[in-house]
Structure 1
């Protein structure tokens, strides 16, 4: 568990993975979806790429621009994200929280491409 947390336990890391799972492949989309500062997202993407959880794919040459996609190792994290989502909905979000339904609607049951 400690080894796994070294890779994905950094603040924002799993939220970056979540955004990729939900289909946000471009840097600006990931920043918007996570709400994280741009420099933090850049750092997390770099760490996740080094850990082979994320891969960069160039989609434009001038100027160079990249999309980010989950690798096999990254896609293996999806059941963990689903479990965290279910746990959070049950234990971390109060039943009267107006965002409660929104917190789970975007992920559970959503069909997502395999990148």
Structure 2
């Protein structure tokens, strides 16, 4: 048996957290950080040689930011299962990160009344 990767450990923790939510509110163990939780959900759709991805950042209120990406299989390319999903999802996450930075820069500029070089 192999050790779980951090991704598996996080997935297991989130699954456990969902189970806990249905019961009494647990006491937070020492060392577990408190704060905000943002979740990114990536939806994939494939068809006609194109895979599209939409990444949505969800906070407790809404999905306020969205990034998009796509991957296209060129005729000479061999179809490697899963690669188009990974490329499209990565592009959507990069686009989402760019939007997050734009929002953060705008908020700092508004608060400080000082332009920030991009």
TM over 0.5: no
Larger Rg: 2
TM-score (norm 1): 0.23
Greater share of helix = 1
In proportion to residue count, which structure has more strand? 2
- TM-score computed with the length of structure 2 as normaliser: 0.23
Question: Structure with the greater relative contact order (CA < 8 A, sep ≥ 6): 1 or 2?
Answer: 1
